[in-house]
Amino acid sequence: MDTAKEKELLQTHQYWVASFMEDSSLDELDSILSHDIMGYGTTQDEKIFGREAVKNIIEIGRQQRRLFDNYRYDLEIVKKQISKKSDAAVIIAEINVSYSIDRNETLLPLRISTVFYYDEQWKVTHWHGSLGVKTDGDTWHQNEWQCEKERLQKLVDEQTAKLKKSLENLKATQSQLIQSEKMASLGELTAGIAHEIQNPLNFVNNFSEVNTELIEEMQEELKAGNTEEAISISDDIKENQKKINHHGRRADAIVKGMLQHSRNNTSDKEATNINALADEYLRLSYHGLRAKDKSFNAKLETDFDKSLGSVNIVAQDIGRVILNLITNAFYVVKKKKEQQKEGYEPTVSVYTKKKKDTITISVKDNGNGIPLAIKEKIFQPFFTTKPSGEGTGLGLSLSYDIVKAHGGELKVETHEGMGTEFTIILPNTEITKK
Amino acid sequence: MKILVVDDEKDVQLLFQQRFRKEIRTGVLNFVFAFSGEEALDIMKTMEQEAVLILSDINMPGMSGLDLLEKIRKDFEQPPPLVMMVTAYGDEENRNTAKRLGADDFLTKPLDFALLKSKLTTLK
């Protein structure tokens, strides 16, 4: 007898049995199965033909085993016979399986007889599986096996129902988290908003006061009969009135933007001036941060591509992305400044660029950069490097989704110790030239 | 004396022109406007040997009012211009920094024009 071939046979047999009994690799399975493989089982009168059917029954077994505790099996080869030419073989093996479900232990003796032939390597051409003899000497009957199957099916159904329920819970939690992330970023904005509203409000007050004075002057001029002078003053009043209106609307837009930012529903795309949007959020987040920490100062650099006109986007969503990137940038330069007081100037740059098919908005910081080990994770939901309670870990993940929903990309380039640059790339849907 | 007003809000120019229209008309006050720290420095270079009072906002994109103050104190020694900084309400930190950098006076936003007028006219 060819001992090398025999050794090979035992290896193939072991691989074959393991495919059924363990979660072993199935990479080599095709090569050990005859293309016309047949199998029979007595448990439910199974008839299996072909490689795909074999793989299917292996997969069903694997799924069922996931419900088992303390699963183990041992294999004993009862009989092994190899033809004289070493070109065919039969192996009869007894396999004792034991597992428990809900602490109920089950012993399941199986018998698998396999026929092999040799064609450059050993291949399974036929097998027969049956339930063996129980430890108490009785045999397993078909209905007993059926009960076992039903018990397993019930368990699978219960587990599926539980999973469905927790999936629903997860979905509800997710939308709550998204909302709380929005509210958190709104909190970051509040101080900035207060500052930004203060400026237009000052103009409204000042120009109103000037107009009151001018009207008094105009009345005096009219009483004195100086019509020309009165007309000249009325021109100034008109001009100031326009300014009052302009700054009133500016404050109005900031409040509206704030409300939109916190709103839960998604809006339609609208023509938006990207440069103005980026500039607005840069100011808001800078003042927001400064309101929280007065000692913090950073150099702001902007370079807005003046050829960039209005682009069709959901302004509050892209605004949220820009805000998130800028807030993160300020956070990292602030951290670096705390570590390294001398010779470091925290700098955050925001710039826009128009290309043929795309427009880009970049936010760059000169912080510590993102370590390679976590670079892959930064867009994952709930990933955060901030201490617990400071970040939801959803900012970048939501940003990524928003940019994707616009048909764009959110890219990151980082150099450890040097800084990070995030770039929002959007398809160029420019509608009007500025 | 020329008064150089530095603020990135462009309407500040119109507001000053309206608020001080009588003083401008009678030549009591003479304003020049810059909309960034960089522009302010350029204007300063053209006004060497002149007496100048700079009234600057702090929060400006690019060069901040504090950066401008620092540069002014370094580069314009003869004659040293007077510098008044405009700070946001309650911004003690910037106020202290400005003081350290050599600011001559402070004004708080929103500007009290009556107070500013009295300060500017008594300076003469």
pLDDT per residue as tens digits for the range A180-189: 776 666 666 6
For residues A62 and A82, state if they share a domain.
Answer: yes
Q: What is the pLDDT of residues A43-67, one digit of tens each?
A: 667 788 999 999 988 988 888 888 8
CA gap A315, A121 in Å, rounded: 65
Q: Is residue A147 part of a domain?
A: no
| Contact indicator for A260, A306 with CB cutoff of 8 Å | no
Confidence class for position A337, pLDDT limits 50, 70, 90: confident
Same-domain status, A93 and A171: no
- Whether residues A393 and A251 share a domain: the answer is no
Sign of CA dihedral B23, B25, B26, B32: positive
Residues A246 and A274 in one domain: no
Residue A30: burial class (beta carbons within 10 Å; 0-12, 13-18, 19+): exposed
Question: In the prediction, which pLDDT does A209 show?
Answer: 92
Same domain, A104 and A171: no
pLDDT of residue A186: 66
* Residue B88 Cα, gap to closest chain A Cα (Å): 9
**Domain match, A343 and A400 both:** yes
What CATH code is carried by the domain that includes residue A339? Answer: 3.30.565.10
**How does residue A433 score in pLDDT terms, banded at 50, 70 and 90?**
very low
Q: Does some domain include residue A320?
A: yes
Confidence of residue A231 (pLDDT cuts 50, 70, 90): very high
Q: How many structural domains are present in chain A?
A: 3
Give the Cα separation of A379 and A397 in Å (integer): 5
Collect all residues with Cβ–Cβ distance below 8 Å to B57 and sequence separation of at least 6: B6, B7, B8, B9, B65, B86
Helix H, strand E, coil C: the string for A232-301 is HHHHHHHHHHHHHHHHHHHHHHHHHHHHHHHCCCCCCCEEEEHHHHHHHHHHHHHHHHHHHCCCCCCEEE
Lowest mean pLDDT among A244-258, A302-316, A361-375: A244-258
Per DSSP, A138 falls in state: P
| pLDDT score recorded for residue A142 | 57
Among residues A233, A265, A297, which one ends one of the domains? A265
Confidence class of residue A106 from pLDDT cuts 50, 70 and 90? Answer: confident
User: Pick from A140, A158, A175: which residue ends a domain?
Assistant: A140
Please judge whether B9 and A195 are an interchain contact, meaning their C-beta atoms are less than 8 angstroms apart.
no
Same domain, A255 and A347: no
Do A272 and A351 belong together in one domain? Answer: yes
Q: What percent of chain A has pLDDT over 70?
A: 86
8 A C-beta contact, residue B96 and residue B69: no
pLDDT, position A434: 40
**Whether B9 and A199 lie within 8 Å, measured CB to CB:** yes
Q: What are the structural domains, with CATH classification, of chain B?
A: 2-123 (3.40.50.2300)
Closest to A347 (Cα-Cα) out of A418, A428, A293? A418
CA distance A290 to A137: 82
Least confident among A277-286, A382-391, B27-36: A382-391
- Same domain membership, residue A104 and residue A20: yes
* Nearest residue on chain B to A202, alpha-carbon basis: B110
Is A366 a domain residue? yes
Q: Do A240 and B18 lie within an 8 Å CB cutoff?
A: yes
Residue A268 has pLDDT above 90, yes or no: no
**pLDDT band, residue A3 (cuts 50/70/90):** confident
What range defines the domain where residue A259 resides? 167-265
Do A295 and A253 lie in one domain? The reply is: no
Domain of A92, CATH number, reads 3.10.450.50
Rounded to an integer, what distance in angstroms lies between the CA atom of residue A167 and that of residue A145?
33
* Alpha carbons A206 and A267: distance in angstroms, whole number: 36
Give the pLDDT score at A390.
Answer: 64
ipTM above 0.90, yes or no: no
Percentage with pLDDT > 90 across chain A:
35
Q: Is the pLDDT of residue A201 over 50?
A: yes
Does B19 sit within 8 Å of A203, measured CB to CB?
A: no
Per-residue CA distances from A120 to A223, A255, A340 (Å) = 118, 78, 69
For residue A420, being part of any structural domain is answered with yes
What is the pLDDT confidence band of residue A192, given thresholds at 50, 70 and 90? low
- Residues A283, A326 share a domain: yes
CA-nearest residue of chain B to A242?
B11
Q: How far is CA A44 from CA A11, A127, A141, A266, A398, in A?
A: 29, 15, 10, 54, 51
Q: Which residue of A has its CA nearest to B63?
A: A299
- Which domain-ending residue is among A265, A280, A310? A265
Q: Which of B18, B91, B110 sits opposite A294 (nearest CB)?
A: B91
Q: List, for residues B22-80, the tens digit of each pLDDT value.
A: 899 999 899 999 999 999 999 998 887 788 899 999 878 778 899 999 999 998 877 78
A110 and A184 assigned to the same domain: no
Q: Quickly state the pLDDT bin for A196 (edges 50, 70, 90).
A: confident
Inter-chain residue contact A294 with B113, CB threshold 8 Å: no
Question: For position A132, what pLDDT does the model report?
Answer: 67
- Lowest mean pLDDT of A142-146, A209-213, A328-332, B26-30, name the range: A142-146
Question: How high is the pLDDT of residue B8?
Answer: 87
